Amino acid sequence: MQKNLRWKIIIILLAMLVCIAYIVSPEEKDAGFFSRINLGLDLQGGIHLVIQVITDDALNQELDQDALAVSREFKSEDISFESSRRGEGYFISVKGVDSSGENEARDILDDMYGGNYEIQSRITEGKTDFMLTMRASEIRSMRESTVRQAMQTLRRRVDAFGVAEANLQLYGESGEDVQDQIIVELPGVDDPDRVKEIIKDTAQLELRLVKKERGGPFPSIEAAYEANSGAFDEYEILGFSRDAREGGPAEFLVVRKDSVITGKDLKKARPSTDSNGAPAVSFFLKSDGAELFERATREHIGDNLAIVLDDEVHSYPQINDTIRDEGIITGSFTQQAANDLSLLLSTGALPASLKIIDERSVGASLGNDSIRSGLMAMCIGFGLVVVGMIVYYRRSGVNAVWCLIGNLIFMLAGMTVLNASLTLPGIAGIILTIGMAVDSNILIFERIREELRSGKTVRASIDTGFGKVFWTIFDTHITTLIAAAFLFQFGTGPIRGFAVTLTFGLIANMFTAVYFSHRLFEMMLGGRRVEELSI
C-alpha cells in the first residue's frame, strides 16, 4: 500500500517534470526558453483583420466575359444583333436579335449557357431580346469558389511575405448563404499599412492589344471617345496608373476588351531592372500562355501591347519581335514596389476585391506592457493565495499549493501541446483557474475539518472528505465547462482565448485537486496512526 503510494507520487512528480521540461525547452535551436508557448496577438503585437470578399466582383466579371462571348459567337455565326451586355442584377441582356437569326441564336444560347443561366426572350418591333439570368445555384457556387480562391491566394501571399504562424480562417454568419469573410491574423507584423497593401491588391495582370488606329494615348476620356466616334464594341478606354502618368499628358488608351494573356498564364515573376537600370518586374509564362503570347505577338508586330494591372495601364510597349515566354513590366517603380509587385504576380491574382471590415493592430511595445502587467498581476495574485492558504490551513495549505503548481504546469503543457495561444484574457482565465482550484481545495479541507469535528479518525475524515466533495467538484467543473464550451463556440477572438485557458485549467484541476491532493494527504499520514492533522 505504502509502496504503491510512493510510486504514484513519483509518477505524478515525474509527469510534472516532463511537462516543465517540455514547456521550457526551446522549440528551435536558437529560440529562447518558453518559445513553445504561443503568444496571442495582444501579447506579442501583430495584426488582426477581418476581410470581406466582394464576391460580386467575380460574378460581374464572369457575366462580362459571357456577354462578350455571346457577341463573339453571334458575330462568327453572322447573326445580326444590337448589343450584348451585363445588366445590374446578375443577368445578361442580348438586345435586338434579327428575326432571321432568332432560332439559331436561341439554339446557341441554350447550348452554351442553358446550364448556368435561365433564358427568357421577348419580341419587340420584330426583333427579339434575350435575357439570361444566372441561376441561384450557380451564383452560390461562384461565390463559394471565389472565397476559396481568395483564401488560397491570401495564404500564398502571407507565406511569401514571410509571416511565421499566420492564421487564416473562414468566418461569417452561418445563417447567410455563403461565408464570405476571412480572418487573417499576423503575429509579430509591425507595419500594418504595407501588409494591407499586399493583401488587398487584386494584382490582375492583363496584356491587352492597343487599338491599331486612333488607339491613343489621349489626354482625356472625351478625346478618346470622340476620336473613335463612339464605336467601341470590342474596345474600352483605360486610364494610366499614377506612376505611368507622370511626365506627359498621355492619360488614356483605347484597348481591346479581351486580353492576350492574364495573370493566370504566369509561371513566376521577379524583380529586375529595365534597360536604364531602373527597377522593373520580369515575368515568365507557362507553356500554354507562351503559345498564345507567341502567336499574338507574331500576328501583331508593330502594334502596341498595353500592360494592364488592376484596370490601370502601366506601359504600352511596341511589339518589335515575336516574344515567347518572357516579358518585363516597366514604369517608375521604387525597388520596394517592384519587389511587392513581383510577389503579388507570383502568388496569383485575387478573384475579387477585398474590403477590410475589422482591423486591430497591437504594437510590440504595447504587447510588452500587457505581458508585464498581466504576469505581475498573476504572480501577485498567486502569491497572495499561497500565503492565505498556508496561514489558514497550515500543513494542508502546503498540499494545496503543490496542487496549484501542478495545475498550472499541466494547464500550460496541455496548451503548448495543442498549440493554443496565450492571450491577455487567457491570463485572466489562468487567474480564474487558480480561483477555482483553490475553491476545490478549500471545499475538501472544510469538509475534512467537519468530519474531524464529528469525531472521526484522521484517516477516515480524509477519505470521507475527498469522497463526499468529489461530486460537488464534479458538478461545479462541468457547469463551468459547459459555459466555457459555449464561449468557445460562439465567442470571438479574446473570448475564445479565455475559454481555452479556462477549459485546460479546469480539466487539469479535476486531476490535481481530487487525485493528486488525496495522494499528498496519504503521504502525510505515511501509513502511521496519526492523531492530529495540520489543517
Query: Footprint of another protein on residues 483-522 (CB under 8 A)?
Result: 483-487, 489-495, 498-499, 502
Phi, psi of 67 (to 5 degrees): -60, -40
Of 49 and 79, nearer to another protein (C-beta) is 49
C-alpha 169/C-alpha 367 separation (Å) is: 23
Of 120 and 534, nearer to another protein (C-beta) is 534
State yes or no: residue 362 binds another protein (CB under 8 A).
yes
CB of 526 to another protein, least distance (A): 24
Name residue, grid cell 460574378. 59
CB of 333 to another protein, least distance (A): 14
The mark string for 331-350 relative to another protein (x by CB under 8 A, - otherwise) is ----xx--------------
With CB under 8 A as the rule, give the number of residues binding another protein: 85
The single residue among 105, 389, 408, 520 that binds another protein, judged by CB under 8 A, is 389
Of 414 and 465, nearer to another protein (C-beta) is 465
Give the footprint of another protein on residues 105-164 (CB under 8 A).
none
- Strands 38-39 and 421-422 come out as parallel
C-beta pairs of 189-198 under 8 Å, 24+ apart in sequence: 189/46, 189/47, 189/163, 190/45, 190/46, 190/363, 190/364, 192/47, 192/359, 192/361, 195/47, 195/161, 196/49, 196/356, 197/340, 198/157, 198/161, 198/340, 198/343, 198/344
Of 366 and 417, nearer to another protein (C-beta) is 366
Of 51 and 290, nearer to another protein (C-beta) is 51
- Contact range with another protein by CB under 8 A, out of 65-73, 111-119, 212-220, 476-484: 476-484
Q: Please count the other Cβ atoms lying within 10 Å of the Cβ belonging to residue 58.
A: 21
State yes or no: residue 463 binds another protein (CB under 8 A).
no
Q: Which residues of 196-228 are buried (b: 16+ CB within 10 A; e: fewer)?
A: bebbbbbbbbbbbbbbeeebbbbeeeeebbeeb
The single residue among 177, 191, 299, 326 that binds another protein, judged by CB under 8 A, is 191
C-alpha 488/C-alpha 498 separation (Å) is: 8
State yes or no: residue 534 binds another protein (CB under 8 A).
no
CB of 181 to another protein, least distance (A): 8
State yes or no: residue 443 binds another protein (CB under 8 A).
yes
C-alpha 496/C-alpha 243 separation (Å) is: 45
Helices (H) and strands (E) in the chain, counts: 15, 19
CB of 430 to another protein, least distance (A): 10
Burial zone of 320 (CB within 10 Å; 0-12 exposed, 13-18 middle, 19+ buried): exposed
Of 176 and 531, nearer to another protein (C-beta) is 176
State yes or no: residue 532 binds another protein (CB under 8 A).
no
The single residue among 356, 524, 525, 530 that binds another protein, judged by CB under 8 A, is 356
Helices (H), ranges, 25-101: 41-44, 55-76
417 Cβ contact list (under 8 Å, min separation 6): 22
CB of 41 to another protein, least distance (A): 10
State yes or no: residue 385 binds another protein (CB under 8 A).
yes
The mark string for 171-190 relative to another protein (x by CB under 8 A, - otherwise) is --x---------------xx
C-alpha 163/C-alpha 173 separation (Å) is: 28
The mark string for 391-420 relative to another protein (x by CB under 8 A, - otherwise) is xxxx--------------------------
C-alpha 497/C-alpha 425 separation (Å) is: 6
- Contact range with another protein by CB under 8 A, out of 26-34, 102-110, 322-330, 429-437: 429-437
101 Cβ contact list (under 8 Å, min separation 6): 74, 77, 78, 79, 80, 81
- Contact range with another protein by CB under 8 A, out of 65-73, 142-150, 234-242, 359-367: 359-367
C-alpha 408/C-alpha 386 separation (Å) is: 13
Give the footprint of another protein on residues 236-265 (CB under 8 A).
none
Give the footprint of another protein on residues 16-75 (CB under 8 A).
42, 45, 50
- Contact range with another protein by CB under 8 A, out of 92-100, 215-223, 378-386, 457-465: 378-386
State yes or no: residue 449 binds another protein (CB under 8 A).
yes
CB of 501 to another protein, least distance (A): 11
CB of 443 to another protein, least distance (A): 5
C-alpha 458/C-alpha 531 separation (Å) is: 7
Name residue, grid cell 480539466. 507
Question: Which one-letter DSSP state was computed for residue 353?
Answer: -
State yes or no: residue 194 binds another protein (CB under 8 A).
yes
Q: Please count the other Cβ atoms lying within 10 Å of the Cβ belonging to residue 231.
A: 9
Of 72 and 242, nearer to another protein (C-beta) is 242
C-alpha 94/C-alpha 75 separation (Å) is: 13
CB of 327 to another protein, least distance (A): 26
Of 9 and 183, nearer to another protein (C-beta) is 183
C-alpha cell at 291: 503559345
Of 219 and 388, nearer to another protein (C-beta) is 388
State yes or no: residue 2 binds another protein (CB under 8 A).
no
State yes or no: residue 369 binds another protein (CB under 8 A).
yes
Instruction: Please report, for residues 87, 131, 150, 478, the alpha-carbon distance to residue 90 in angstroms, rounded to integers and kept in the order given.
Output: 7, 10, 21, 51
